[in-house]
Amino acid sequence: MYGIIASPDYAKDIKEVLQGKQILFEKTGMFKPEEFQQHCTAAAGISIDILIVDMTCCSSDNDIVKGIRKYRVARSSRVILIAPGREPGDPAISALVGDGVYDIVAPALPEEDDDEEEAEALDIQPYLQKQLTMSYHMGNAARWRSLDDEPVASAAASSSKPGKGRPETIIQEQIIFRDRIVGTVIVGVAAAGRRTGCTHTAVQISSFLAREGFSAACIELMEPELQRPVFSTFKSDEPSQLHPGGFRIGGIDFFPYDQVQNVIDILHAGYKYIVLDFGQLVYEEAGEKKPSAYSQEFLRSDFSIVTAGSALWDYKDALQLVDTMQKWKWRKSLNVLINYADASLFKEISEALTGKEKQTLQLQFAPAPYQPDPFKVTDPSAEAYRQILSAIIPAQQEKRQRGSILQLLPFGKRGKGA
């Protein structure tokens, strides 16, 4: 099922390519910035698999980015950009690639001939047809991504009078409805170093969300040659519910690394929350720090948690990770969860940086609740996670009568679906 937001120049070509397919949303015209954003918001309310957006239908790149970001916050559906004449390094496209828009159709514009009255029309059909056959993968858009993208200059700004045309800064926006983010919320959990409780925390958060009555999935996304995936050691005979290929424990659908064929399909399955276990985010190779293969996915998470131990060397790993992210120009608000710390030790660790330093680095510190069994959530643990995740869960929940949660630490032989 498809959606289209396009100019009259390319709408016909797009519909020709989609002939015989179901188009649930269609807006054709040259739109003012506020109109374009309204169309993106309207599209987010419809169950669309692929939204095709023609960037020539709006003169403001800044508002194109804002509108598509609103759509991506509400839905994780695939977005294909029609961007004739654009080239790698384009700040608007670079910003959108950072938000998970990996399909860029950008054929070169025909050269103008002074002897001809009208320029030759650009046929985008073969380019769009080819893009639709490609799988959704960040590698398709790697050449468009610039880690230096800060402001986006809109077409309107570039044509302003001298001295008045300044780049418009893109402001990150989220659609909030009844105190929560609309659509599937992605929680990324990564480790500052080895043995800091990353997987334990991912399972605990998933258990908390399931305890609160939300549909939750937990996915393992780590490089097996660098660290040991563990979900495959869990034992369960109950298959996953909302998406096939995983297994279910304690009301949570688990997807081990070796069974995750296409993460985007799981993201579209209708879970309210998906917790991604990334393991160690940065590793060292031949004395050089390198990002893990899934580091960009961590940066795209709606809510990002870094786990760290309370030992001096563990805390140092966390600060080194933040420093590395700054050097690589990764800009991300991080929630640093300190494991194995009592109240006095956590106070000492969290106050090692000044309030201004934490604000500049976008860091929030929180103590991790002590709970050896990751599948068991006590009332004190639930209260702690409710506070930690307050930005992404409703402020108030209706109390529900619940049956017992499976009290099982399921290591051993793998069962069906595991």
What are the tens digits of pLDDT across the range 298-343?
Answer: 888 888 999 987 766 666 777 788 788 777 777 778 888 888 777 8
Nearest-angstrom CA–CA distance, 152 and 169: 6
DSSP state of 163: T
Question: Which amino acid is it at 370?
Answer: Y
pLDDT of residue 285: 79
Nearest-angstrom CA–CA distance, 189 and 127: 37
**Six-digit token string for 248:** 């279910």
DSSP state of 192: S
Host H or E run for residue 4: strand 2-6
How many H helices and E strands in the chain? 13, 19
Instruction: Collapse the DSSP code of 180 into the 3-class scheme (helix H, G, I; strand E, B; otherwise coil) and give the result.
Output: strand
Q: Are 336 and 318 in contact (CB under 8 A)?
A: yes
Q: Flag residues of the chain having pLDDT under 50.
A: 147-180, 396-418
E strand spans, 164-240: 168-169, 176-177, 180-181, 185-191, 216-220
**Six-digit token string for 88:** 């790698």
Residue 282's contacts (CB-CB under 8 Å, 6 or more residues apart) are 289, 290, 291, 292, 295, 321, 324
Residue corresponding to tokens 């698999």: 49
Nearest-angstrom CA–CA distance, 156 and 151: 14
DSSP state of 103: E
pLDDT of residue 38: 92
pLDDT of residue 216: 95
pLDDT of residue 286: 77
Host H or E run for residue 326: helix 312-327
Q: Are 2 and 50 in contact (CB under 8 A)?
A: yes
Instruction: Collapse the DSSP code of 63 into the 3-class scheme (helix H, G, I; strand E, B; otherwise coil) and give the result.
Output: helix
Alpha-carbon distances of 192 from 281, 282, 310, 338, 339, rounded to whole Å:
7, 7, 12, 11, 12
220 alpha-carbon distance from chain centroid: 15
Instruction: Collapse the DSSP code of 208 into the 3-class scheme (helix H, G, I; strand E, B; otherwise coil) and give the result.
Output: helix
E strand spans, 222-381: 247-249, 252-255, 273-280, 282-285, 288-291, 303-309, 334-339, 363-367
**CA quadruple 147, 153, 154, 155: dihedral, nearest 10:** -120
Nearest-angstrom CA–CA distance, 74 and 258: 29
Nearest-angstrom CA–CA distance, 292 and 308: 17
CA proximity to 269, closest of 76, 40, 99: 76
E strand spans, 30-157: 50-54, 78-82, 103-105, 151-152
Q: Are 79 and 110 in contact (CB under 8 A)?
A: no
pLDDT of residue 219: 93
**Six-digit token string for 284:** 């060292």
Number of residues assigned to the chain = 418
**Six-digit token string for 2:** 């498809």
